[in-house]
Amino acid sequence: MPARRSLAGLYVLTLLLVSGLLLAAWYTLGRPQFVPAALGEDQRLQCASYSPFDHDQSPFDLPLTIHRERLEADVALLAQRFSCLRTYSVTGLEALPEIARRHGLTLMIGAWVSADPKATRQEIEGLVQTANAHPDVVKAVIVGNEVLLRGDSTPERLRALIEEVGQRVSQPVTYAEVWEFWLRYPQIGPVVDFVTLHLLPYWEDDPTGIDAALHEVEQVHARFTALYAPKPLFIGETGWPSQGRQREDALPSRVNEARFVRGFIALAERHGWQYNLIEAFDQPWKRRSEGTVGGYWGLYDAHRQDKGILSGAVSNLPDWPRWLWVSLAWLLAGLWLAGRPRGPAAAWQSPLLAGVAALSLGLWLQQMTLDSRQASEWLWHGALALLNLPLAARLLLGVNPPSGGWRARLSQHLQRQAGRYALAVALAATWLMLALVFDPRYRSFPSAALLLPALALLLQPCRGPRLELNLCGALLGMGLIVLLWQETLLNTQALGWAAVSLLLLAALWRGRRQPAGALPAAPATP
């Protein structure tokens, strides 16, 4: 009896410790952080990029329907913090000037110039008509956005469109482009009334981390001021993403977005710059072309909830309590599966390993909600999550081997199939590694998806198809070297993926020495 009490006490103590560590982990991810404010909450900022799409809408939806109720609510909200809105198209926004007028907002309206001549002509005609009909609200017009970057037009065609619009409207006319392309195509500068630059340190070919981002913006602005003086300079887009993959030391997060935006506003006010922040609301549809990061540049989320970017404390994971409860539910499910501990080792190992599994699964499920845009991605990411379950069960049943019943039958089944699970993990990891090497720009690092499988196979190695696993191991190892060279050692997300890959490589190496079909021995019952 004393032995059982001692065993139960050790089990409960470890369980409490693991629960506390889960709480600490999620709170650390989501704790509110202080970022110095740039302006008071009652002071209006200059301009913000505005796209009128609901959280589940996309400009690719045909026929495209923009609801007036959405425009009314959005403008009313944004008028509290901004004096101007920038748009990228005129399609579906015919009512916007009148709504903006009622709320005291001015507009910088854009025509979307694409490779389709017919669609571009419709945009140009709509731009001219709107500008001439509302000269008191429309203060400037923008003919095209990053057209040269996308390769949707020649410089000659773009120049002709800008000159045409300049002759047909009374407002100043400009073109918006990333700063490198203004240098690449200097022939565009003479035909605009002012130069509109996009300064996005995260998206630079040589990304700039948050600590140096504002200095980079200041340097580029000074360079173009000298280059185009006395022509006015307008920062047409600047901002920082709140979610998505890290690029070298440029890490997306809400805290970093708040640091950049608030710091930039203070810098712009100090120097008297004219600017536009990208963007008012998160645009989930942009993940289709830009990966996860594309959908999370907003000052408000896609449901029009304040992200805390402009003022107040800001949290990288404001809904962390929900994910804590998800992890605690997985913890309890793992402990139920493992059953009553049959020895001192199982009394502390079962709660500890169940906690690792719970945290890993919770992190991956949270990332899934960000990365999954369409059915195929939900299926793929869901399959990676499901791959965790049999390996977690095998691990827990292995440290606390059952003596009979359904748990023993499940343990034997999982052991017999362990080689197949190892092969599935190795194939998934190899595919993910090759994708990150050959098509990395818009892909997130899936570390949380394979952390638990790699750890489970390392702690309880198994033998699988040698040829296939050797090939996966070789590709994984070579890909790891290339990945770290591409991403640099400044990329902490890449380092996390490298650590998971090394765990898996070690597990595959250990598995080479395992006899086929070996079952873990059950400890003696105390």
Provide the 3-class DSSP secondary structure of residue 109. strand
Is the confidence at residue 463, as pLDDT, over 90? no
Residue 467: inside a domain: yes
Q: Assess whether the previous peptide bond of 63 is cis (omega < 30° from 0).
A: yes
pLDDT computed for residue 63 by the predictor: 78
- pLDDT at residue number 119: 95
Binning pLDDT at 50, 70 and 90, where does residue 518 land?
very low
Same domain, 278 and 332: no
- Whether residues 289 and 339 share a domain: the answer is no
Instruction: Check residue 210 and give its pLDDT.
Output: 97
Condensed to tens digits (0 to 9), the pLDDT of residues 354-403 reads: 999 999 999 999 999 999 988 999 999 999 999 999 999 999 999 988 88
Distance CA 325, CA 461 (A): 31
- The domain boundary, picked from 295, 310, 331, lies at 295
Examine residue 180 and state whether it is found in any structural domain, yes or no. Answer: yes
pLDDT at 403: 85
**522: pLDDT strictly greater than 50:** no
| Domain carrying residue 275 | 38-295
| pLDDT for 137 beyond 70 | yes
Alpha carbon distances (Å) from 25 to 70, 180, 328, 430: 38, 41, 12, 29
**Which of 280, 295, 310 is where one domain is finished?**
295
Mean pLDDT of 301-322: 96
pLDDT value at residue 3: 63
According to DSSP, the residues that pair with 323 across neighbouring strands are none
Q: What is the mean pLDDT of residues 39-67?
A: 86
Count the domains in the chain: 2
CATH number, residue 68? 3.20.20.80
Q: Over 90: is that where the pLDDT of 94 sits?
A: yes
Q: Which two tokens stand for residue 59?
A: 């400009």
Q: 126 lies in a domain? A: yes
Q: Same domain, yes or no, for 335 and 270?
A: no
| Three-state secondary-structure class, residue 350 | helix
- In this prediction, residues 10-32 reach a mean pLDDT of 96
The predicted pLDDT at position 2 comes to: 63
Q: Is residue 498 part of a domain?
A: yes
Among 295, 310, 337, the domain-final residue is 295
CB of 239 closer than 8 Å to CB of 278: yes
108 neighbors 142 (Cβ within 8 angstroms) = yes
Contacts by 435-442 with C-beta closer than 8 Å and gap 24+? 436/479, 436/483, 436/497, 437/479, 437/482, 437/483, 437/486, 440/483, 440/486, 440/487, 441/291, 442/245, 442/289, 442/290, 442/291, 442/292, 442/293, 442/294
The answer on 128 and 15 residing in a single domain is no
Are 224 and 339 in a shared domain? no
Same domain, 325 and 412: yes
Percent of the chain with pLDDT over 70: 97
Per-residue pLDDT at 516: 54
Listed in sequence order, the residues at least 6 apart from 241 whose beta carbon sits closer than 8 Å to its beta carbon are 202, 252, 257, 293, 294, 296, 297
3-state secondary structure of 231: coil
**pLDDT value for 524:** 40
Beta carbons of 143 and 167 less than 8 angstroms apart = no
**Do 189 and 335 sit in the same domain of this protein?**
no
β-sheet bridge partners, residue 208: none
Say yes or no: 51 and 192 in one domain: yes
Mean pLDDT of 53-79: 89
> Are 23 and 171 found together in one domain?
no
Question: Is residue 232 a part of any domain in this protein?
Answer: yes
Burial of 54 by CB count in 10 Å (0-12 exposed, 13-18 middle, 19+ buried)? middle
**Is 516 within a domain?**
no
Residues 17 and 83 grouped into a single domain: no
pLDDT given at position 343:
87
* pLDDT tens-digit series, residues 258-291: 999 999 999 999 999 999 999 999 999 999 889 9
Q: Which two tokens stand for residue 322?
A: 């929900």
Does residue 86 register a pLDDT over 60?
Answer: yes
The conformation of residue 439, written as its DSSP 8-state character, comes to: S
C-alpha distances in Å from residue 279, one per residue of 166, 273, 486: 27, 18, 29
Is 352 among the domain residues? yes
Alpha-carbon Rg for the chain, nearest whole angstrom, is: 28
C-alpha neighbours within 13 Å on the C-beta side of residue 297: 25
- Distances from the Cα of 480 to the Cα of 17, 254, 432, 436, 438, angstroms: 35, 29, 11, 10, 12
Closest CA to 47 of 82, 96, 73, 78: 82
Is the full-model pTM beyond 0.85? yes
- Residue 300 counted as domain residue: no
Q: Tell whether 291 and 258 lie within a shared domain.
A: yes
What does the pLDDT look like over 138-155, one tens digit per residue?
999 999 999 999 999 999
Same domain, 276 and 334: no
In angstroms, what CA-CA distances link 518 with 230, 287, 349, 406, 455?
79, 45, 21, 19, 19
